[in-house]
Amino acid sequence: MGNHLYDALFGRHEGSGADFLILPDGGRVSHAAFAARAARFSGALAAAGLAPGDRVALQLEKSPDMLAVIAGAIRAGVVFLPLNPAYTAAEVSYFVTDAGAKLLLCDGASEAALAPVADAAGAALAVLNADGTGSFAEAAIRAEPLPVVPCESGDLAALLYTSGTTGRSKGAMMSHANLLSNAEVLVDYWRFTADDVLLHALPIFHTHGLFVATNVALLAGARMIFLPKFDAGEVIRHLPQATAMMGVPTFYTRLLDDPRLTRDLVAGMRLFISGSAPLLAETHRQWQARTGHRILERYGMTETNMNTSNPYEGERRAGTVGVPLPGVELKVCDGTGAELPRGEIGTIEVRGANVFQGYWNMPEKTAEELRPDGFFITGDLGHVDGEGYVTIVGRGKDLIISGGFNVYPKEVELALDALPGVLESAVIGAPHPDFGEGVVAVVVPEAGAELAPDTLRAALGGSLAKFKQPKHIAIRDGLPRNTMGKVQKALLREEFRATFA
Ligand code: ATP
Ligand code: MG
């Protein structure tokens, strides 16, 4: 028996001298060199006492070695959990303890802060720096490469923790088949081949950069220009060598702010993909005007990988996330799980080989969100049009109920964004003594524009019913966002909690 995920992603390239990673300094990592490194890391994991099914936590800066440890873990049947380097020691403590990790890998710079965390959790601690040094790198040099450990399709590959946008992060149990099946669909749907060069500037602790981008590149045999982080100048420098890029919406808005982004610069590109947070229709339009490319927006989440995508050929409809991917069933339901008529807004539920195995250590939460028939209740609200295109209108937890009426923040945000001088906005509910919740809008002006709350309110009068109109409007320079470009509405709710008190 083979190793379901390892064989498909890595095993097939073992011994190949073809380039896998292109580094910012022009250095190259071949598939053969990468696989050899991964095999040594799998040996180091075994030498550290990790057996198949044990967990290794990684809080590492993005680097080729971080990816090689992940490949090594899959090879060894060890379950890995990649963690955002921005997490504090207290946050890491939650993940390491929750996952019952036997080993925590960190950067040298955080070793002192994490030593007590690892101790308390009963985990060993080892260092792997982005430049390939550290105690775990040394252990890898000493270790005998481990033969590929057999793993079946249903075995756990990763515990991927959700972003924690709506509450405490949950560990999504991803099986080998969850990950491989989705990557197979995406390679085909987005037409990835061995001729592609994917510009990779996303983090690899999150599903977008790790499973969507990397697994697709590996499966297609494509190369990746592997940048340590998003930097507009660096992305612009590398775009002429790339054929495809995956990004969060902020990549696109930042690139649009740079005059070096031109049609010529992206003449060799065939595909720009966006996801992880809503792409403004305005960004979509500006991108097309400037580059000639229509961004392909798709929709997914930690628990499911990708669910829907705009088509490769056919209409990429701005403001929508496209249609369900092959093998994914999607329906819009009311609170009881009954499917709503087409066009109505409700909770999006999905089913398919991509859907996770449940939340680690959270059987009640799993039972609440994963129906016995296999449908996963995403918590996102949306509707489907006559041609099957899905529009996300927000998260269930962000829905505002004011005076007994539902207010979908997205509707108010779209009305605000359409007003002259408005760059973007975020709409939240704040406790209100009469209405239960009152609508609060945080509005960001375009560069140089002067906005006044009263003028904005008056301008909305024509387009929105009274109960949807913001009772309070705050003007800000920007919205609080996490690394994946998601607006942190929980922070805003906290900030405006006493607005109507
Ligand atoms: P948590 O579940 O811990 O609250 P999270 O849901 O933000 O965090 P992720 O799994 O990283 O964690 O994000 C998935 C969510 O991102 C989706 O449920 C959806 O709300 C949002 N999302 C992803 N892609 C898109 C998109 N193209 N348009 C709108 N929203 C998107
Ligand atoms: Mg979520």
Q: Residues with Cβ < 8 Å from 323, sequence gap 6 or more? A: 308, 309, 310, 311, 387, 388, 389, 390
Which residues does residue 383 pair with via DSSP β-bridges, in sequence order?
391
pLDDT in tens, 249-262: 999 999 999 999 99
How much is the pTM? 0.95
For ligand 1, mutation pick of 83, 87, 299 (most atoms within 8 Å of CB) = 299
For ligand 1, mutation pick of 162, 273, 306, 391 (most atoms within 8 Å of CB) = 162
Q: What is the ipTM of this complex?
A: 0.99
Q: Chain centroid to CA 226: how far?
A: 17
Rounded CA separation 241/265 (Å): 10
- DSSP class of residue 365 equals H
Rounded CA separation 202/156 (Å): 24
How are beta strands 305-309 and 296-301 bridged, if at all?
Answer: antiparallel
Q: Say what the alpha-carbon torsion angle 435, 439, 440, 445 is, to the nearest 10 degrees.
A: -160
Rounded CA separation 73/91 (Å): 23
Nearest to 219, CA basis, from 188, 242, 246: 188
Q: What's the pLDDT at 171?
A: 98
Q: What's the pLDDT at 462?
A: 85
First to last CA, the chain: 64
- Ligand 1 atom closest to the CA of 165, numbered from 1: 4
pLDDT in tens, 236-294: 999 999 999 999 999 999 999 999 999 999 999 999 999 999 999 999 999 999 999 99
pLDDT in tens, 26-57: 999 999 999 999 999 999 999 999 999 999 99
Q: What's the pLDDT at 1?
A: 83
Which ligand is closest in space to the CA of residue 166? 1
Ligand 1 site, residue 395, Cβ cutoff 6 A: yes
Rounded CA separation 480/49 (Å): 42
Interior angle at CA 299, CA 310 and CA 478, nearest 5: 110
Q: What's the pLDDT at 196?
A: 98
Q: Which two tokens stand for residue 183?
A: 């990557």
- Ligand 1 atom closest to the CA of 482, numbered from 1: 7
Which ligand is closest in space to the CA of residue 413? 1
Phi and psi at residue 214, to the nearest 5°: -70, -45
Three-state DSSP string of 253-279: HHHHCCCCCCCCCCCCCCEEEECCCCC
Low-confidence ranges of the chain (pLDDT < 70): none
Determine which residue's CA is closest to atom 13 belonging to ligand 1.
301
CA of 394 to the centre of ligand 2 (A): 12
Percent of the chain at pLDDT exceeding 70: 100
Determine which residue's CA is closest to atom 5 belonging to ligand 1.
163
Answer yes or no: are the C-beta atoms of 500 and 471 closer than 8 Å: yes
Nearest to 44, CA basis, from 127, 117, 107: 127
pLDDT in tens, 192-238: 999 999 999 999 999 999 999 999 999 999 999 999 999 999 999 99
CA torsion through residues 197, 202, 203, 206, sign: negative
Three-state DSSP class for residue 135: helix
Q: What's the pLDDT at 439?
A: 97
CA of 172 to the centre of ligand 2 (A): 10
CA of 357 to the centre of ligand 2 (A): 15
Ligand 1 site, residue 275, Cβ cutoff 6 A: yes
Q: Which two tokens stand for residue 303?
A: 């628990």
Position of tokens 């760059």? 423
